[in-house]
Amino acid sequence: MSTLTAAFQNIAPRTPNAPAVILFSGGLDSTTILALAKDLGYAPYVLSVGYGQRHSSELAAAKHIGKKMGVVRHEIVNLDLTRFGGSALTDTSIAIPTTPSKDKEIPVTYVPARNTILLSLALSWAESLGGLDIFYGANAVDYSGYQTVVQSM
């Protein structure tokens, strides 16, 4: 067990190899949380979501990293959030900015309620697996004014 994992021992599985659903974009935060869940002793089931985002590099990375890290199962759910728009990531009529937004301003790349939707999908899968645990990697330093992170800080 790593020193980092020892710091999180209070969230170790109640039984060895208990299933845990990890929301997995393939980025740094979700890869770190996947490694932590594995090191704690969970059986990792990873969930990636293609929600109509303009980029696919993280989903390609998720497939590769999931295989390398030996997850139990990797599901990629396609959920078309482009139908609702409201974000530069899902609406081609909104330009993706090339400069950072002002502090305290919600950026145009914010996808309305995306994290809530992703967590709901993870909960659904965890329940069907008989699991009680969901892991989600978010970086508070990197919040950039996103509504869901700001409200929880």
More confident residue, 8 or 47: 47
3-state class (DSSP) for residue 85? coil
Q: Is pLDDT at 36 greater than 80 in this prediction? A: yes
CA distance 153 to 149: 6
Q: Is pLDDT at 148 greater than 60 in this prediction? A: no
Q: Looking at residue 107, which CATH number applies to its domain? A: 3.40.50.620
More confident residue, 96 or 152: 96
Q: Is pLDDT at 153 greater than 50 in this prediction? A: no
> Is the separation of the CB atoms in 14 and 41 below 8 Å?
no
CA distances from 153 to 110, 111, 148, 149, 150 (A): 17, 18, 9, 6, 5
> Is the separation of the CB atoms in 65 and 40 below 8 Å?
no
User: Which pLDDT band holds residue 150 (cuts at 50, 70, 90)?
Assistant: very low
Q: Give per-residue pLDDT as tens, 74-112.
A: 999 999 888 888 888 887 788 888 887 676 677 888 888
Domain count, the chain: 1
More confident residue, 117 or 98: 117
Full-model pTM: 0.83
Predicted local confidence at residue 10, as pLDDT: 87
User: Containing domain of residue 40, as a range?
Assistant: 3-152
Q: Give per-residue pLDDT as tens, 2-16.
A: 776 778 888 889 899
